[in-house]
């Protein structure tokens, strides 16, 4: 006991947090017709030490832990994430555009369940990719923009004029904070998110970081629940008749 405060290990205060925190990692909400399910956590999975960075809707996998869950050195993690960013920039400059599959997770749950099954049926690689997404520690949304208040113009291109500090709200101003709180979980067009993942850390161009995620792992006692309203943002995205047959995710684990 220090300063008249009991050691955390000697009190039951906060136990609910300790037991629930671990449940939000390495899992994902899975769309099913009529009732969704929760992906079973598998600590032995080959993906259990990885996070899923997203940038411009491109999705990657980055190893951040040893097999025993010991975090890798910060510099190694930073280098790997930086490699992801540089690769995305290179792909965009070459004219490549990602298929925004994550947008489908913001749709009506039954519609997403139907589209999810269709994607699985297209390619074994898709099934492997979805399986990996379910087991990643979490998602990391690297947003190429700064969240803008509603009365500001929306700029989304890689070379947008947001590079000019005069076009964005001042960091820590009321306008900047409010815009972040409202839009980190409801980004423009539901882009660069995987709403079924729990949790997601978002990082904006101005260094503002936030968090969002599917709450089911800690608010539901069962892995099966009746249909909930779904993500906070409802966005209709027509499913194309022809889709990517390979949703493989590049890995950066040198």
Residue 46 DSSP label:
T
Quote the tokens at residue 29.
């909400």
Dihedral of CA atoms 83, 101, 202, 82 in degrees, nearest 10, equals 0
Q: Is 180 known to be catalytic?
A: no
| Residue of 118, 165, 182, 215 marked catalytic | 215
**Measured distance CA(53)–CA(51) in Å, rounded:** 6
**Cβ pair 103, 54 in contact under 8 A:** no
**Measured distance CA(149)–CA(53) in Å, rounded:** 25
Quote the tokens at residue 137.
């520690």
Which residues are catalytically annotated? 215
């Amino acid at each position: 006991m220090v300063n008249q405060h009991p050691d955390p290990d000697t009190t039951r205060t906060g136990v609910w947090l300790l037991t629930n925190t671990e449940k939000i990692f390495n899992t994902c909400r899975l769309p099913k017709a009529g009732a969704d399910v929760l992906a079973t956590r598998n600590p032995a999975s080959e993906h259990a030490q990885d996070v899923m960075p997203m940038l411009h809707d491109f999705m990657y996998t980055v190893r951040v832990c040893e097999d025993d869950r010991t975090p890798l050195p910060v510099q190694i993690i930073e280098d790997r994430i930086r490699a992801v960013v540089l690769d995305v920039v290179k792909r965009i400059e070459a004219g490549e555009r990602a298929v925004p599959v994550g947008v489908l997770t913001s749709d009506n749950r039954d519609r997403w369940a139907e589209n999810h099954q269709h994607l699985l049926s297209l390619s074994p690689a898709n099934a492997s990719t979805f399986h990996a997404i379910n087991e990643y520690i979490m998602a990391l949304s690297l947003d190429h923009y700064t969240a803008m208040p509603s009365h500001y113009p929306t700029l989304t291109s890689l070379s947008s004029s947001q590079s000019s500090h005069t076009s964005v709200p001042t960091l820590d101003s009321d306008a900047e904070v409010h815009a972040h709180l409202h839009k980190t979980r409801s980004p423009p067009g539901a882009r660069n998110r995987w709403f079924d993942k729990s949790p997601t850390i978002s990082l904006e161009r101005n260094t503002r970081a936030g968090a969002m995620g599917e709450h089911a792992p800690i608010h539901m006692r069962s892995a099966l629940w009746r249909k909930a309203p779904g993500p906070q943002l409802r966005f209709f995205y027509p499913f194309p008749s022809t889709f990517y047959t390979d949703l493989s995710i590049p890995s950066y684990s040198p």
